[in-house]
Amino acid sequence: MTMRLYSMPSSGNSYKVRLLLALTGRDCELVDVEDASDALIAAKADGALPFGKAPVLHLDDGRMLPESNAILTWLGDGTAFVPDDAFARAQMLSWMFWEQNQHEGVIAVRAALRSYPSRAHLATPERMADLLKRGHALLAVMEERLAARDWLVGDGASLADICLYAYTHTAGSRGGFDMAGFPAVCAWIERVAALPGYVGLDG
């Protein structure tokens, strides 16, 4: 089966899908649709991005699947990154919904406000300070969880780890968060990066 992933190279949401593809050794054609690019505008006009944003997975029969974490569940089905136990799978989804509802809107948004010139006018000092405080509180939730265990759910890496790694591993460099206060999170970041087949955000 040939698949095509519409992927924004600089985006953690797109990266988490590329990371799972690499970790599971699956081939997939990539179509780069960087922020504010002509390719992104064209893809939107073509109807290739149902919710108006990347990533979107296209199957060879034309079916399209948007939302990074839903794509992870589809690609992860039957792999070692989805636990066998039903409650562990629900816990995995719990972390993934938390990532989209809480973590991304703070950790990724602060990084985007610092990284993308098109959004710089939104980066007021008050907003950046508020995002910094809220981001440290979210990282503390992960720190508490990872202080006593290697992975977020179960005994091995799951989709929850791949999902949360995407924006957490650049929270210091891109988001400006102080990672020194979160040693268990930092150790977990190294653990993910040591997984066989790992690729970084820049390929």
Residues that bind a second copy (CB under 8 A): 51-52, 59, 63, 65-71, 73-74, 77, 86-87, 89-91, 93-94, 96-98, 100-102, 104-105, 141
Nearest distance from C-beta of residue 53 to a second copy, angstroms? 9
Residue with smaller CB distance to a second copy, 62 or 196: 62
Residue number with CB closer to a second copy (94 or 173):
94
Question: Please, what is the minimum distance in Å from the beta carbon of residue 141 to a second copy?
Answer: 7
CA atoms within 13 A on the CB side of 201: 16
Element (H, E) at 187: helix 183-193
66: phi then psi, degrees, rounded to nearest 5 = -90, 175
Distance in Å, CB of 77 to a second copy, minimum: 6
Q: Nearest Cα to 149, choosing from 137, 159, 161?
A: 161
CB of 107 to a second copy, least distance (A): 13
- Exposed, middle or buried: residue 53 (CB in 10 Å: 0-12, 13-18, 19+)? buried
Distance CA 134, CA 28 (A): 36
Of the pair 104, 161, the CB lying nearest a second copy is at 104
Identify which of residues 19 and 109 has a Cβ nearer to a second copy in the complex: 109
**Shortest CA distance to 23 belongs to which of 202, 165, 199, 169?**
199
